[in-house]
A and B are shown apart, each in its own frame.
Chain A
Amino acid sequence: MKRTVLSMFFSLIATLSSVSAFADSLEVVATVPALASLAQEIGGDQIKVTSLSLPTQDPHFIDARPSLALALNRADLLLFVGLELEQGWLPTLMTSARNGKIQPGASGYLDCSSVVERLGVSNTALDRRMGDVHPAGNPHYLFDPRNALRVAQAIAERLAAIDPENAASYQTRLESFQTDLSQRIAAWEARMVPFKGAPIIAYHSSWLYLATWLGLTEVAFIEPKPGIAPTPAHVAQVLAIGRAKGVRAILQETFYADSASRLIAEKIPARLLRLSAGPDVRGGESYAAQIEKIVSALEAALLPQAHQAEVTP
């Protein structure tokens, strides 16, 4: 009797598991929408992409909802930003996902920071008095599209390794994506040439790669330290610096409170650019479209006639 029950239990497990195992497309799970978008460009119809977070959410603080563990449980490939960006929630999910395919060292595990040139790597001893710091480097590298080229390459290689049958089509899509994005990069760089060295203020240290790419100078951060909310004395200091340096643009992701930034923008005056952290993948927005949005917003803000304090939606 016991044996029958036991064998029934295991055959039930086997049947149910095999049902889910025979899905026809490759399951790719990305922690942030920008990576999901890149994966979709390369994978096309051959893959099904899920993003664990929305562009309106702070990727440092995503709730480890069990539904995300379920997505990871079924994943063939996990793409994540790394550099401890997802440290607060991804490890828990990866353990409860019980999926050997996406554990470190497996072919389904891709730390995308491994292929980019890192900025903001600390070579001094860090401690938490400096705020919520990322010792291995600043994780916001996807705001530099040249890094997207490298990440796309890595994704294509990994997809080809997991799914050799479709390797050729991944390669084709990669090439057309890279050609297109490279042309756009050249155009964006040309448009931003007049603003080389322009001073900007950032809320969080999210725009280091963007600023480095476009040759902008980050002169102040509205957060006194990473992860610490602005204090009035600090805001006053930032305002003074902003005026002294003639800052015209303040950059911040939409998930940060904007009262301090608005105030500074009005006082300098400068334009507050509240930018999405990633493309709206659900709404069909591509990675390139989002970078285009950022460049256009910067261009508009930095033009000499854009003196008026304005807040982009």
Chain B
Amino acid sequence: MTRLIRRRLQARAATFVASVSLAAFCFLFSSLIPAPCAWAESEIESAASPESLPTIAPDELAEIERALGQDSAKPNHPPQPPPASANPVVAALSNFNPDLAVILDVAAGWFSGETGKPITSGGHDPKKTGFTFQQLELSIGKAVDPYFRFDANLVFSQFGVEVEEAYATSLALPFSLQIRAGQLLTRFGRLNASHPHSWEFADQNFALTRLFGAEGNRGLGLELSWLMPLPWFTEIIVSATDATGAATARSFLGAGEFDIDSPLDFQLTAALKQFFPITDALSLNLGLSAVTGPNSTGNGNRTDIYGLDFYLRYRPVTGAALRWIALQAEVFWRRRQIPDDLLQDVNAYAQLVWRFADRWSVAARYEWGSAATGIDGEHTSLDWLDPEWTRDRQRVSAAATFHPSEFSRLRLQGARDHAPSITPDPIWSVILAAEFFVGAHAAHAF
């Protein structure tokens, strides 16, 4: 009886949180975009009142509103030219400090089902019905000297700090070689090396979470890359990193601690990236990746993962600047040796993102992860990492993002996650995520 009541209460709480997030989203939007006519009319009066400001006739204002949408903003003061005075000292002062940027990601989410939780989640994903502090990221970067550049990303969660990345990049090695050394996200595939603020969805891809862990694949190590002297962009990357980390290398040694006896005890990654500027507006990026390392089942057993990534982007070079559409897809094939068997599975995702207005973009994503099969081709429960994952999992997500400026965004995302072997019913979710960025202007990778 009490259980039933509790369940009802939970269900009510869930509905409440969902409706609150929706209401909050609508409210935020309404304050930033077209508002009811009544407001606009009162504005005409208030705009007319200051004597010093020139005014226009109400019917013309109505026409402007028809053309551009109504506006809830208070009438503006007369536009000011930018403050002008020559003061080169201001610019010179800050030159030696590292460029700092602070990025806050917070979310409110609702998940269907008894637990009100997603099936599995990345380290920055909304984890339950209610509010989630996704991350507070401090990114620091600067040239060290003519030979190196330093970059770090420190991630603060509500109760701790982690060094997500801290590495040096060489700037001037001969033969177009480049070295990165330190704690780094491996450049396996396309999405793995990126940070949450450049993701098109409020959560991490489940493929990467399943293969590498909640934080994606990273570790302490060394990377060498070579920009080949070919007429088109071709880069070869090899790296050796720690094969340990429950949240970063779970298919390898995971949380365990192991001695290094040979170079093969590291996680070794290789990738080939190619870029084709098909036209000024159309770009194609293709990548092949492979990673190998020991796994925690002992006896010299190894895990190999192969990846293929594809990114096609169309951004017109005439007309309004911020319009683009991009199709991105990755496929991963994982092989794990275990005592007396070989586990294999495939994970893939494809996503389409369309920036259709200065301030708006929409995105859709499909993800699929097969159950692990044994050497006989049958599904097996020998997978020590995800013993419940005995049938395919599929997730479909859609997101709409509002960008008030380059430095902030609001995202509403809905998803249906179906993993029949883990939960009998699909889990539906609604996430409202907000991001705020302050500090040095971000340089965006392609």
Contact pick for B227, options A73, A132, A135, A238, CB 8 Å: A73
Would you list which residues of chain B between 397 and 435 have a CB under 8 Å from chain A? 405-407
Contact pick for A98, options B170, B280, B445, CB 8 Å: B170
Judging by beta carbons under 8 Å apart, are B71 and A231 in contact? Answer: yes
Nearest chain B CB to A74 CB, angstrom units: 9
Inter-chain CA distance A132–B175, complex, in Å, is 38
Judging by beta carbons under 8 Å apart, are B61 and A238 in contact? Answer: no
Which chain B residues lie closer than 8 Å to A233 at the CB level? Answer: 43, 47, 71, 73-76
Judging by beta carbons under 8 Å apart, are B275 and A133 in contact? Answer: no
Which chain B residues lie closer than 8 Å to A234 at the CB level? Answer: 71, 73, 76, 79
Chain B interface helix/strand/loop/mixed: loop
Inter-chain CA distance A230–B174, complex, in Å, is 48
Judging by beta carbons under 8 Å apart, are A118 and B277 in contact? Answer: no
Identity of the chain B residue whose Cβ is nearest the Cβ of A70 in the assembled complex: B233
Inter-chain CA distance A17–B173, complex, in Å, is 12
In the complex, whether B318 has a CB less than 8 A from a CB of chain A is: yes
Judging by beta carbons under 8 Å apart, are A87 and B320 in contact? Answer: no
Contact pick for B443, options A13, A19, A92, CB 8 Å: A92
Judging by beta carbons under 8 Å apart, are A63 and B53 in contact? Answer: no
Which chain B residues lie closer than 8 Å to A65 at the CB level? Answer: 275, 277, 283, 446
Identity of the chain A residue whose Cβ is nearest the Cβ of B228 in the assembled complex: A16
Inter-chain CA distance A138–B73, complex, in Å, is 27
Contact pick for B78, options A220, A256, A260, CB 8 Å: A220
Nearest chain A CB to B193 CB, angstrom units: 12
Judging by beta carbons under 8 Å apart, are B275 and A103 in contact? Answer: no
Stretch of B82-90, B126-134, B156-164 with 4 or more beta carbons under 8 angstroms from chain A: B82-90
Stretch of B62-70, B264-272, B383-391 with 4 or more beta carbons under 8 angstroms from chain A: B62-70
Judging by beta carbons under 8 Å apart, are B170 and A61 in contact? Answer: no
Nearest chain A CB to B427 CB, angstrom units: 36
Inter-chain CA distance A131–B405, complex, in Å, is 8
Judging by beta carbons under 8 Å apart, are B227 and A89 in contact? Answer: no
Would you list which residues of chain B between 314 and 331 have a CB under 8 Å from chain A? 315, 317-322
Which chain A residues lie closer than 8 Å to B359 at the CB level? Answer: 229
Contact pick for B68, options A96, A99, A220, A259, CB 8 Å: A259
Judging by beta carbons under 8 Å apart, are B320 and A257 in contact? Answer: yes
Identity of the chain A residue whose Cβ is nearest the Cβ of B446 in the assembled complex: A64
Which chain A residues lie closer than 8 Å to B71 at the CB level? Answer: 231-234
Inter-chain CA distance A206–B423, complex, in Å, is 57
Judging by beta carbons under 8 Å apart, are A87 and B443 in contact? Answer: yes
Contact pick for B56, options A87, A224, A239, CB 8 Å: A239
Nearest chain B CB to A203 CB, angstrom units: 11
Q: Provided the pairs A54-B317, A87-B441, A255-B319 are in contact, do residues A121 and B76 lie with their beta carbons within 8 angstroms?
A: no
Identity of the chain A residue whose Cβ is nearest the Cβ of B69 in the assembled complex: A232
Inter-chain CA distance A2–B68, complex, in Å, is 68
In the complex, whether A221 has a CB less than 8 A from a CB of chain B is: yes
Would you list which residues of chain A between 207 and 244 have a CB under 8 Å from chain B? 208, 218, 220-221, 224, 226-241, 243-244
Inter-chain CA distance A57–B405, complex, in Å, is 19
In the complex, whether B297 has a CB less than 8 A from a CB of chain A is: no
Contact pick for A69, options B81, B171, B233, B285, CB 8 Å: B233
In the complex, whether A104 has a CB less than 8 A from a CB of chain B is: yes
In the complex, whether B25 has a CB less than 8 A from a CB of chain A is: no
Judging by beta carbons under 8 Å apart, are B91 and A67 in contact? Answer: no
Q: Provided the pairs A95-B169, A233-B75, A235-B64 are in contact, do residues A124 and B405 lie with their beta carbons within 8 angstroms?
A: no
Would you list which residues of chain B between 36 and 60 have a CB under 8 Å from chain A? 40, 43, 47, 53-56, 60
Which chain A residues lie closer than 8 Å to B56 at the CB level? Answer: 236, 239-240, 243, 267
Identity of the chain B residue whose Cβ is nearest the Cβ of A243 in the assembled complex: B54
Nearest chain A CB to B262 CB, angstrom units: 13
Judging by beta carbons under 8 Å apart, are B405 and A240 in contact? Answer: no
Nearest chain B CB to A251 CB, angstrom units: 14
Contact pick for B87, options A61, A104, A121, A228, CB 8 Å: A121
Q: Would you give 24 A-B contacts (Cβ < 8 Å), ordered by A?
A: A13-B226, A16-B229, A57-B317, A61-B322, A67-B233, A100-B146, A100-B172, A103-B146, A103-B171, A104-B143, A121-B86, A122-B87, A124-B83, A128-B405, A208-B81, A208-B82, A226-B82, A232-B64, A232-B69, A232-B71, A236-B64, A240-B54, A254-B319, A267-B56
Question: What are the 9 A-B residue pairs with the smallest beta carbon separation, nearest first?
Answer: A100-B172, A244-B54, A66-B275, A58-B321, A232-B71, A240-B54, A66-B233, A123-B85, A136-B91
- Besides the known contacts A105-B146, A132-B406, A232-B70, 8 further A-B residue pairs in the complex with CB atoms under 8 A apart: A64-B444, A66-B446, A67-B233, A70-B233, A229-B358, A231-B68, A237-B47, A267-B56
